[in-house]
Amino acid sequence: MFNTIRLLFLVLDKFQMKAILLKYFFKDIMKHFSVIVIPDGSETPVKFWVSSRWVFGIICGLLIFVAANVGFLTWNILNSYNRAHILHENRLLEENLTRTQSRVDSLASMLGSISEKNQALYVITDIDEPEKNFAIGGPQFEIIEGNYSLTRLELQLDSLIFVASQEYIAMDSVSQVIEHRDKVLRHTPSIKPMPGFISSGFGKRLDPLTGTWRMHEGIDICAPRGTKIHATADGRVKFAGSRSGFGKVVIIDHIWFETRYAHLNEIKVRKGQKVERGDVVGACGRTGRATGVHLHYEVRIAGNPVNPKNYILPYNICVD
What is the distance between the terminal CA atoms of the chain, rounded to a whole angstrom? 136
Predicted confidence at residue 56, as pLDDT, reads: 75
Going from the C-alpha of 246 to that of each of 166, 259, 260, 261, 288, the distances in angstroms are 56, 14, 10, 9, 5
CATH architecture of 197-311: Distorted Sandwich (2.70)
Residues 6+ apart with CB under 8 A from 115: 163, 167
Which whole number is the average pLDDT over 115-141?
A: 64
Residue 9 has pLDDT above 70, yes or no: no
Predicted confidence at residue 130, as pLDDT, reads: 65
Q: Which residue, 233, 293, 228, is CA-closest to 260? A: 233
Q: What is the DSSP letter of 40?
A: T
Question: In terms of residues, how long is the chain?
Answer: 320
Helices assigned H by DSSP within 126-148: none
Residue 254 has pLDDT above 90, yes or no: yes
Q: How confident is the model at residue 2 (pLDDT cuts 50, 70, 90)?
A: very low
Task: List pLDDT tens digits, range 184-240.
Answer: 889 999 999 999 999 989 988 776 666 677 888 999 999 999 999 999 999 999 999
Residues of the chain with CATH 2.70.70.10: 197-311
Task: List pLDDT tens digits, range 167-181.
Answer: 777 777 777 877 888
3-state helix vs strand vs coil in the chain, percent to 5? 45, 25, 30
Task: List pLDDT tens digits, range 68-77.
Answer: 888 888 888 8
d(CA 285, CA 226): 6
Q: Which residue, 319, 270, 256, 281, is CA-closest to 193? A: 281
Residue 241 has pLDDT above 60, yes or no: yes
Residues 6+ apart with CB under 8 A from 252: 231, 233, 235, 236, 237, 238, 258, 259, 260, 261, 275, 281
Going from the C-alpha of 52 to that of each of 32, 47, 48, 57, the distances in angstroms are 5, 16, 13, 8
Q: How confident is the model at residue 63 (pLDDT cuts 50, 70, 90)?
A: confident
Residue 147 C-alpha from the chain's centroid: 30
Q: How confident is the model at residue 10 (pLDDT cuts 50, 70, 90)?
A: low
Q: Which residue, 149, 161, 172, 144, is CA-closest to 107? A: 161
Which whole number is the average pLDDT over 124-153?
A: 57
Predicted confidence at residue 192, as pLDDT, reads: 94
Q: Which residue, 255, 264, 259, is CA-closest to 299? A: 259
Residue 156 has pLDDT above 90, yes or no: no
